[in-house]
Amino acid sequence: MNHHEDNHLDEIPRLTGGRGADVIIENLANVNLGKDLGALATRGRVVVVGSRGEVTIDPRHLMMRDAEVRGMALMNISDRERDSIHAAIHIGLENGTLNPVVSREMSLADAAQAHHAVIESSTHGKIVLIP
């Protein structure tokens, strides 16, 4: 789903037969978390992996669904979990279930510029640094 599109969460009931999402992986919680909670299924969860600031939510959306919000940062995973993630990514790239969108390729020497481009909301997809 493209979170840049207005009303992107409106597709969730159709896609889930009215149940709502079991899991939402949220990359910009300070903008989207409040809306995500209304799109969850009973016992659903939002996993926050990115945020650029504070957010205010209505906890009743969590209570109505027995839902939860969890934070996740790769710096907290074990070596075993990291190896499992790498293996799953490798398999997904090989079999095509993972198909990352590459916005552009930039020289490693332009890493600072690439970092600024990633932060801009106008960037769509990943920026790949080439050595």
Q: Across the strands, what pairs with 47?
A: 25, 70
In a domain, 3, yes or no: no
- Looking at per-residue pLDDT, the higher value among 19 and 118 belongs to 19
Q: Is the pTM of this model over 0.85?
A: no
105 and 125, same domain (yes or no): yes
The domain containing residue 98 runs over which residues? 80-130
Exposure letters 66-96 (e unless 16+ CB within 10 A, then b)? ebebeeeeeeeeeeeeeeeeeeeeeeeeeee
- The per-residue pLDDT for range 11-51, each reduced to its tens digit, is 899 999 999 999 999 988 999 999 999 999 999 999 999 99
The total number of structural domains in the chain stands at 2
